Amino acid sequence: MERKEFLMQCGAACFSASLLATWLQSCDVKKAVVASYSDNQLSVPLSSFYTEKDGNKKWKRSVVLRHEKTAFPIAVFRYKEGEYKALLLRCTHQGSELNMYGDLITCTAHGSEFSNKGEVTKGPAETSLEQYPVHTDDQNIYIRIA
Ligand code: FES
C-alpha cells in the first residue's frame, strides 16, 4: 500500500469515527425532559418543544419525557401545530428500551426499527409501539397514561 493511499484511508476512518460519535451523542433519550404528573396524565410545558430567538420559535420534531410513573421514556412527536403523538419507548418484540435518533426509533437488542408514528419498519418486532392520548392547551402538552 502506498503512503498516500494509507493516509487517505486513515483520514476516511477518522472522519467516519467522528461522525459516528456525533450520531451516538445525538440520542434523544439521553436528553429527556422530566414531566410532571397529575390526574393520570403527564404534562410538560409547551416551551419544551421550541427554542426562541429574536421572537421566532424554532419547533423541535420530538421531545422525550421521563417520569417514575412509566417504566420507559415516552417520545412525543410534533407533526404540525396541534398534532402530536406520544409513544412508549418500549420495544414490542421483547420489551427492551428503545433509542431515538431524530425520527428513527431503534432497538439495540435485536435490531427492530420503528417510524416516528410508532409503526414497525424493520423486524423482528411485529406490532406498533404503544400510544397514549395527547392534548394541549396554551401552556402545556398533556399525555394521558392511565
Ligand atoms: S427486544 Fe427489541 S428487537 Fe427484540
16 CB-near residues (< 8 Å, 6+ apart)? none
How much is the pLDDT for 28? Answer: 59
Place of cell 394541549: 136
pLDDT digits (tens, 9 = 90+) for 17-52: 444 444 444 555 556 777 778 888 988 888 888 888
CATH superfamily assigned to domain 28-144:
Rieske [2Fe-2S] iron-sulphur domain (2.102.10.10)
How far the first Cα of the chain sits from its last, in Å, is 63
Helix (H) or strand (E) holding 64: strand 62-66
* Pairing relationship of beta strands 62-66 and 33-34 according to DSSP bridges: parallel
Would the pLDDT of 143 be above 90? yes
Q: How far apart are CA 119 and CA 105, in angstroms?
A: 10
Going by pLDDT thresholds of 50, 70 and 90, the confidence category of residue 118 is: very high
pLDDT digits (tens, 9 = 90+) for 69-99: 888 999 999 998 888 999 999 999 999 999 9
Give the ligand 1 atom nearest the CA of 125.
Answer: 3
Ligand 1 centroid to Cα of residue 20, in Å, is 22
Q: What pTM was estimated for this model as a whole?
A: 0.77
Among 91, 104, 114, 122, which residue has the most ligand 1 atoms within 8 Å of its CB, making it the best to mutate?
91
How much is the pLDDT for 13? Answer: 55
Ligand 1 centroid to Cα of residue 8, in Å, is 38
- Phi, then psi, of 109 in degrees rounded to 5: -65, -55
Would the pLDDT of 117 be above 90? yes
Q: How far apart are CA 50 and CA 76, in angstroms?
A: 13
Ligand 1 centroid to Cα of residue 35, in Å, is 26
Would the pLDDT of 142 be above 90? yes
Going by pLDDT thresholds of 50, 70 and 90, the confidence category of residue 1 is: low
Segments making up each domain of the chain, as ranges = 28-144
Positive or negative: CA dihedral 92, 111, 70, 86: negative
Stretch 90-111: mean pLDDT: 94
Asked which of 19-23, 88-92, 102-106, 121-125 is least confident by mean pLDDT, the reply is: 19-23
